[in-house]
Amino acid sequence: MKTIRLRPGKERSLLRRHPWIFESAIAKGSGDAGETVRVEAAEGQFLAWAAFSPASKIRARVWSFDEQQRIDASFFIASCAESIRARGRFDIQSNGVRLVHGESDGLPGLIVDRYADTLVAQFTSAGVERWKDEIADALLAATGLTKLYERSDASSRTLEGLPEATGWLRGQGDVELLLQEHDWQLAVNIAEGHKTGFYLDQRDSRKRFHNYAKRLGFQRVLNCYCYTGGFTVAALQGGAAHVTSIDSSGPALEKAAANVALNGFEASRVDFMDADVNASLRQFVEQGRSFDAIVLDPPKFAPTVAHAERAARAYKDINRLAFKLLEPGGVLFTYSCSGGISADLFHKIVASAGCDAGVDGYIHERMGGAPDHPMTVYFPEGEYLKGLVVMRK
């Protein structure tokens, strides 16, 4: 077993059970890509077993802090089974569920979503890549399913020195699947859709938006970065009279229109715009348009803290424009999925946007990812998605 030894003082995060070991923390030692290494403090005491990644700034990711633990096929069988068992204790109103959420479930770099009878997995670190076959078998054994599609095409693979890999890993089947969520349905393509096919992390936010639409009787809804229309369908299901949905992807808008039809809503209740959101918001302000509900669910503007300053300006600009378009008493659902933007910073950005727009509002709720995308005590970085529900005064 190869060993890496840390610099003096660099063991503190591991003693707090944080699973990442950065390149700068290592005094000596190395391993092959994905190889399990013994991690020791500067004085030589055992700290953890970790997967080594020679190409990444996060040079090792912890499998276990138990010196007696063996990292073998049995370890992954037990870890996958426990993660999947935990989902049975969550309130998930859907046949689309995140079964494994990386570090939060003790499996760094592994994302696994279930869509009906099909699993979709992303292997985004050298460690899980090395154990891919064993993990695939463990997942099927724990779920009793036979189909597993791989979507290892996330940009983080590049940071690990890994090529993209997609396709059926176990079994064969349709890539066009039907997602049942709350009171509606959404078509999902696991081969082409974003992430593993869809944004399951916003499941509960879509339900909350539906509830607000039903309770407040939204007449004019604006859904920005609408993708395949999840919030659009939720609003219509809640009784919204009309929804304007904007995205810069024509194919995504086609799927959004199909999802509206799938749920039995008239096409006349939705306008789809293939356009830039920022430019569209500015145009709406110039035209004097207004809405009584707006959703801002943009893509990741700041993947790391290093991008935070530039991203903050982008978030502020779209929120400022949204505040100007919001009717008094109107509701803004605004989000950031950027890991480099903390919940506190996002709140400050939205507050600054409101000040610049000359608009005050009540913060009704703080939103986060659905419970099957957990943040844990030891790994607060799991809180990548954060949102605010603001009602304009």
Tell me the three-class secondary structure of 22-78, residue by residue: EHHHEEECCCCCCCEEEEECCCCCEEEEEEECCCCCEEEEEEECCCCCCCCHHHHHH
Task: Reply yes or no on whether 80 is catalytic.
Answer: no
Among the listed residues 157, 228, 222, the one whose alpha carbon sits nearest the alpha carbon of residue 199:
228
| Pair type for strands 220-224 and 291-296 | parallel
Instruction: Please report, for residues 41, 49, 58, 65, 118, the alpha-carbon distance to residue 14 in angstroms, rounded to integers and kept in the order given.
Output: 9, 11, 13, 8, 36
Please report, as a single letter, which amino acid is at residue 31: G
Cβ(157)–Cβ(132) below 8 Å? no
Handedness of CA 93, 98, 100, 104 (dihedral sign): negative
Cβ(222)–Cβ(294) below 8 Å? yes
| Cα–Cα distance for residue pair 283/280, rounded to 1 Å | 5
Which single residue is written with the structure tokens 């994905």? Answer: 34
| Pair type for strands 165-170 and 147-152 | antiparallel
Among the listed residues 78, 77, 118, the one whose alpha carbon sits nearest the alpha carbon of residue 96:
118
Tokens, residue 257: 């229109």
| Cα–Cα distance for residue pair 131/257, rounded to 1 Å | 40
Buried/exposed code over 244-259 (b: 16+ C-beta within 10 A; e: otherwise): bbbbeeeebbebbbeb
Instruction: Please report, for residues 17, 26, 39, 186, the alpha-carbon distance to residue 227 in angstroms, rounded to integers and kept in the order given.
Output: 37, 42, 43, 12
Beta strands in 182-325 (DSSP E): 184-189, 220-224, 242-247, 270-274, 291-296
Cβ(106)–Cβ(79) below 8 Å? yes
Give catalytic residue positions: 337
